[in-house]
Structure 1
Amino acid sequence: MKKFNLLYDSTIAMTKIGRYRILHELGAGAMGLVYRGVDTIIDRVVAIKTIKMGKAITNVNLKDMLTLFYQEVRIAGKLSHPNIATIFDVGEFNDIHYFVMEYVDGVNLKSIIMEKASFRLIEKVGLLIQIANALHYAHQRGVIHRDIKPANIMIVSDDKRAVRDYQVKIMDFGIAMLSSSNTGIGKQSSERILGTPSYMSPEQISGLELDRQTDIFSLACLAYEFLAGKKPFSAPTLPELFQKIKTTTPTQLYKIDPTIPEDLSKCILKGLEKNKEYRYQSAGEFADELEIFHNREELLETQKLDISKEYADKEFLQSLKRNYAFFSDFSIDELNTIYNISLKLSYKKGDVIFKENTVGSKMFIIISGQVKITKQFDDSGTETILNVLKLGECFGEMSIISAAPRFAAAVAETDCSLIAINEVILRTSEPRLCLKLYKNLAIILTEKLKKSDAKVNALLARMKN
């Protein structure tokens, strides 16, 4: 397998690249050095990834290397997702090609696995769901990563939540490919295989043309290692490793760690099928399977809280029909079904229920207390209260039909209890009820769009006059 390496003159201290002031070196990537820096114009901390062409020693020609570098920028620049590192800028300075990306202050998953950091199983699965959903987002836009591995996953912790809250950032689309590209740059060949051996799919190590299935296999390798603490495939030599990837079925996870349920083990091994036709057909499907397990574990935990069972009575369900359009055409039995398969959550005053610009699969109904909806309109950190919601009101409903980032944050204004309706669970266990919710949401959104169009037309008419 041919690789290229870059050599830098360590005696030259970098202090500035373009308008970016260098703070310190973060490390060496496959194509060059990575720095932590500051954008001197807007005073933002950033990460700067570089290639210094004058010092490059490579097994591929210089033109291909530079093309590959700018391909990373072009591909990653197409993606805007809370769980994918954002690209801000690209340029050239004194023979150094660079791009500027979001600085992620976290720990990579490789370090977490090596140090055997303390994570509950439900937390691990939650992180895997985030990775799978972010990959699904990229795949839907024709982007395949091709190097999913623990070192390319950053984990960021938020201490503002009532419970530990971890967010994923997928890094380094340096060897990603556009699945619809005709340039040939992203195509595999037996002489030029890009990726990390332990996480490669059988088709990847064979130099075959790749699609989204290769990322699914790599994610399953990562998931196996994260859950079991060991790689699914290991061997003393590269040829032996590749042979195992092509022919060997890994040990079931529950046989390595009895605390891992058998259905979760089967879920991960489905992602490791040799024949890609037998794997999950999308990263979103993989995420859904993980979500079903995750929701089941959440239900077991919330049952211990014994939250307000009396709110499932007929009077409360009738109030939902009367006061909220989503549920106006649902029968009491249907609402009771939704209630029974949904989580019941409790929050203290000031707890963050969800943050702005995060992705979620749940909508919420308030069964006691109040919740405020807030939004930041600038970088000052100041939050503006958009609304205060009370008993029976809903929020977060856009996640039912879209995986788009949350427009605003939700915070407990008082101690409160909520029903959390999980879109994945509703879709897989009660598809008819989920379809009714989709339909009702579509009607409401259509009405909102009509009102917006009317306001815009009225504004244009005033401007003309």
Structure 2
Amino acid sequence: MTPSTPLPNDSTQTRLIRIGRFAIKHELGRGSIGVVYLAHDPIIDREVAIKTFRSRLSLVEKKQHEQHFINEARAAGRLAHPNIVTVYEASSEGDSTYIAMEYLQGRELNKLLDAGHRFTAEDVASISWKIADALDHAHKNGVVHRDIKPANIFLVADHQPKVVDFGIARAPNRVSDQAHKAEEPYTLFHDNILGTPNYMSPEQAMGQAVDARTDIYSLGAVMYEMLTFRKPFQAADTDKLLHQIAFKAAPDVHTIQSNVPLALSKIVAKAMSKKADKRYQNAEEMALDIKRYLTRTRREHERKPKAERSEQPANAPTFQQSRLFWPVCGVVIAVLIAAYSFWTH
């Protein structure tokens, strides 16, 4: 592989020419440790997203986070699902470590929520059903994401979700982390910063071993926020937040937003059960429940217009509001006047 060719510094003026065989077009975004570029693959003749390290990271920092890159590539590389980002290639040679993946055009769910975007109940169900189906595919292939949250759900055209960032996923071919046990809650320290653990399962919050049901809880927490416009638990202090997640039950969705259907609220509540044994036992069960809800809702919408044709619509004008009201009143008054004149004479 041809190494990347940066300018000497890591300022906004840095211009990469090439990473591996990929020709860099421009920067798409950056985080605390990584940068994502739009690039062109000259062999396949397609645009890709290249995820790599920032050049200012020390060798120790690069080594610390390199495993996340490799694990992300290995975990996502096992999967082929329309709602999971596709990883094309990963390489770590010399100073160049990168992942080439599907170029997604859209926006992360967390950015939409932060901007005040409001999703309908049907939108939330449709998006969540696809994510649950994607998680079912991942779990059946031995991959547990362990970091499902709005920032790791990318929405492309028509609200089609893509699950991204498998850097801390548990997979059969995962690279071992000497500094952490495989079951520890990496989410808190992902990207070398103390993250917001609002979507962690109770078992993650308590540092216990997790399985696929942790992703089910996290998806429930994402649905909760999409439906209520607030996170299930909130606290300024991280320890207090973790305690709430571990031991406190969040208010039911429909008690916060009365317009949320009870059936959908129950799906969220079951997914977010404190005890893993009381949740959906696999993502397929959750996906089927959401799909049944969507099917019922759409059938009701289809039947509603037919029912309305056989009875007066709720917003139909009253007799007083109709165009016949005043003419009829005029005739009645005229008749009364004539009758009065007849009898008085």
What is the alpha-carbon distance in structure 1 between the residues aligned to residue 306 and residue 33 of structure 2? 54
What is the alpha-carbon distance in structure 2 between the residues aligned to residue 180 and residue 93 of structure 1? 20
Q: How does 1:377-416 map to 2 (within 5 A)?
A: none
* Partner secondary structure for residue 143 of structure 1: coil
Tell me the equivalent position of 2:291.
291
Tell me the equivalent position of 2:256.
256
Higher relative contact order (CA 8 A, sep 6+): 2
* Partner secondary structure for residue 67 of structure 1: helix
Are 2:182 and 1:187 equivalent residues in the alignment?
Answer: yes
- The 8 Å contact of residues 18 and 93 in structure 1, kept in 2 or not, is answered as no
* Partner secondary structure for residue 189 of structure 1: coil
What is the alpha-carbon distance in structure 1 between the residues aligned to residue 32 and residue 131 of structure 2? 22
Offset of residue 261 of structure 1: 1.6
Are 2:164 and 1:171 equivalent residues in the alignment?
Answer: yes
Q: Which amino acid aligns with 1:148?
A: I
Q: How does 1:295-444 map to 2 (within 5 A)?
A: 295-304=295-304, 306=306
Q: Which amino acid aligns with 1:172?
A: D
Residue 22 to residue 61, structure 1, CA distance change in 2 (3 Å): closer
- The 8 Å contact of residues 142 and 180 in structure 1, kept in 2 or not, is answered as no
What is the alpha-carbon distance in structure 2 between the residues aligned to residue 274 and residue 256 of structure 1? 19
The structure number with the bigger radius of gyration is 2
Residue 141 to residue 190, structure 1, CA distance change in 2 (3 Å): closer
Q: Which amino acid aligns with 1:9?
A: D
Residue 191 to residue 34, structure 1, CA distance change in 2 (3 Å): closer
Count of aligned pairs between the two proteins: 291
- The 8 Å contact of residues 119 and 226 in structure 2, kept in 1 or not, is answered as no
Residue 182 to residue 40, structure 1, CA distance change in 2 (3 Å): closer
* Partner secondary structure for residue 155 of structure 1: strand
Are 2:213 and 1:213 equivalent residues in the alignment?
Answer: yes
Residue 79 to residue 29, structure 1, CA distance change in 2 (3 Å): farther
Q: Indicate the percent of aligned positions where both proteins have the same amino acid.
A: 37
Stretch of structure 1 that moved more, 103-112 or 224-233: 103-112
What is the alpha-carbon distance in structure 1 between the residues aligned to residue 225 and residue 172 of structure 2? 27
Q: Which amino acid aligns with 1:169?
A: K
What is the alpha-carbon distance in structure 2 between the residues aligned to residue 18 and residue 276 of structure 1? 44
What is the alpha-carbon distance in structure 2 between the residues aligned to residue 125 and residue 101 of structure 1? 27
What is the alpha-carbon distance in structure 2 between the residues aligned to residue 88 and residue 138 of structure 1? 17
- The 8 Å contact of residues 175 and 194 in structure 1, kept in 2 or not, is answered as no
Residue 130 to residue 92, structure 1, CA distance change in 2 (3 Å): same
Tell me the equivalent position of 1:74.
74
The structure with the greater share of residues assigned to strand is 1
Offset of residue 68 of structure 1: 2.6
Q: Which amino acid aligns with 2:67?
A: T
TM-score normalised by the chain length of structure 1: 0.58
* Partner secondary structure for residue 287 of structure 1: helix
Stretch of structure 1 that moved more, 293-302 or 17-26: 17-26
- The 8 Å contact of residues 119 and 227 in structure 2, kept in 1 or not, is answered as no
CA deviation digits over 1:236-266, x for unaligned, max 9?
Answer: 1101110110111111111111101222212
Residue 22 to residue 166, structure 1, CA distance change in 2 (3 Å): same
- The 8 Å contact of residues 85 and 170 in structure 1, kept in 2 or not, is answered as yes
What is the alpha-carbon distance in structure 2 between the residues aligned to residue 90 and residue 267 of structure 1? 38
Q: Which amino acid aligns with 1:68?
A: H
Offset of residue 93 of structure 1: 6.4
Are 2:97 and 1:112 equivalent residues in the alignment?
Answer: no
Q: Which amino acid aligns with 2:285?
A: E
- The 8 Å contact of residues 193 and 207 in structure 1, kept in 2 or not, is answered as no
- The 8 Å contact of residues 184 and 204 in structure 2, kept in 1 or not, is answered as no
Tell me the equivalent position of 2:44.
42
- The 8 Å contact of residues 47 and 103 in structure 1, kept in 2 or not, is answered as yes
* Partner secondary structure for residue 22 of structure 1: strand
- The 8 Å contact of residues 74 and 173 in structure 2, kept in 1 or not, is answered as no
Residue 277 to residue 194, structure 1, CA distance change in 2 (3 Å): farther
What is the alpha-carbon distance in structure 1 between the residues aligned to residue 292 and residue 185 of structure 2? 39
Offset of residue 180 of structure 1: 8.0
CA deviation digits over 1:9-62, x for unaligned, max 9?
Answer: 22532122122122221222464111111112332111100025x63259x875
What is the alpha-carbon distance in structure 2 between the residues aligned to residue 222 and residue 265 of structure 1? 13
CA deviation digits over 1:366-422, x for unaligned, max 9?
Answer: xxxxxxxxxxxxxxxxxxxxxxxxxxxxxxxxxxxxxxxxxxxxxxxxxxxxxxxxx
Tell me the equivalent position of 2:278.
278
- The 8 Å contact of residues 185 and 204 in structure 2, kept in 1 or not, is answered as no
Offset of residue 218 of structure 1: 0.8
Q: Which amino acid aligns with 2:171?
A: L
- Of the candidates 19, 28, 42, which is equivalent to residue 17 of structure 1? 19
